[in-house]
């Protein structure tokens, strides 16, 4: 019997547990050990590899479960955080660090094999110590509010650990509870990172293809447009263009700020379709 180990957090008084998808990806059975050391079988309700998130359900009722609370605001670099989990099976372990950066993507993590390259990635970076067994546990602020879900470390570095933002975790929970799955956004366009010809970030995102009749076409986005901003968030990489609409969700009206060649910036509204599952 091959056994795996990970961490998680209680997200409802009815026994829902949030963790990373890669923690339970190959599991034929899942047991959850509570802080009381009581071990309870659980089933997987919803799993989504492109977010690396999974929602479990305890198989029997437990009184007195205390759900975590998620921070409403985004974290800031330099803020103190704590990672809570089960590194190497050492229960109830807390490590301390700071937020080192935001908006890290698959390449920033060293392209780890356990995460899909085409996922919706926008990680929090921290130097709080994270090890095998921490995956799926909460990254919290000093008040105990969850800022992220600890997910990965960069094996070729030191003090480089990464967490999925709480905002995407709450979007995942909304989708899982409402639809029993995660609806993925389809924008109907392709884009590439290109060198920024002017001041600002080193790269910008340029539209390379627009599907006829798709969401981008309906929003009058054209090939060659440079995406400057989605909502109020500046865009510098293709990973931003994937992540931010997914964070909003299918059918939501999203503002895109664009520039074409030397023309003045313009704003359009794009409404993502649901991406067909393969």
Q: Is 22 a catalytic residue?
A: yes
Kindly tell me the burial class for residue 188, based on how many C-beta atoms sit within 10 Å of its own C-beta (0-12, 13-18, 19 or more): buried
Cα–Cα separations (whole angstroms), residue 184 to 40, 211, 235, 247 = 32, 17, 20, 10
Q: Which of 135, 225, 239, 240 is catalytic?
A: 135
Partnered with residue 16 across adjacent β-strands are 57
CA–CA distance, 227 with 249 (Å, rounded to integer): 19
CA–CA distance, 191 with 224 (Å, rounded to integer): 9
Nearest residue to 248 via CA among 215, 213, 225 = 215
Q: Which of 22, 105, 225, 239 is catalytic?
A: 22
DSSP state at residue 70: B
Kindly tell me the burial class for residue 29, based on how many C-beta atoms sit within 10 Å of its own C-beta (0-12, 13-18, 19 or more): exposed
Q: Is 106 a catalytic residue?
A: no
Q: Is 52 a catalytic residue?
A: yes
Q: What amino acid positions are annotated as catalytic residues?
A: 22, 52, 135
């Amino acid at each position: 019997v091959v056994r795996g180990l990970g961490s998680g957090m209680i997200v409802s008084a009815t026994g829902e547990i949030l963790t990373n998808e890669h923690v339970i990806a190959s599991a034929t059975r899942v047991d959850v050990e509570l802080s009381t050391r009581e071990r309870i079988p659980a089933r997987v309700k919803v799993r989504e590899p492109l977010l690396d998130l999974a929602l479990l359900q305890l198989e029997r009722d437990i009184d007195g479960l205390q759900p975590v609370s998620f921070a409403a605001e985004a974290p800031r670099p330099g803020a103190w955080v704590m990672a809570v989990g089960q590194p190497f099976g050492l229960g109830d372990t807390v490590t301390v660090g700071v937020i080192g950066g935001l908006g890290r993507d698959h390449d920033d993590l060293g392209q780890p094999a356990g995460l899909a390259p085409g996922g919706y990635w926008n990680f929090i970076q921290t130097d709080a110590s994270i090890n095998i067994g921490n995956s799926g546990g909460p990254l919290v602020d000093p008040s105990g509010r969850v800022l992220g879900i600890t997910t990965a470390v960069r094996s070729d570095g030191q003090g480089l650990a990464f967490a999925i933002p709480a905002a995407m975790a709450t979007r995942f929970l909304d989708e899982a509870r409402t639809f029993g799955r995660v609806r993925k956004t389809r924008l109907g366009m392709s884009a590439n990172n290109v060198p920024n010809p002017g001041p600002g970030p080193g790269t910008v995102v340029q539209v390379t293809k627009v599907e006829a009749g798709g969401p981008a076409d309906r929003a009058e986005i054209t090939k060659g447009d440079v995406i400057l901003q989605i909502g109020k968030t500046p865009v510098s990489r293709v990973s931003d263009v994937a992540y931010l609409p997914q964070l909003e969700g299918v059918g939501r009206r999203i503002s895109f700020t664009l520039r074409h060649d030397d023309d003045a910036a313009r704003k359009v509204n794009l409404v993502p379709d649901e991406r067909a599952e393969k």
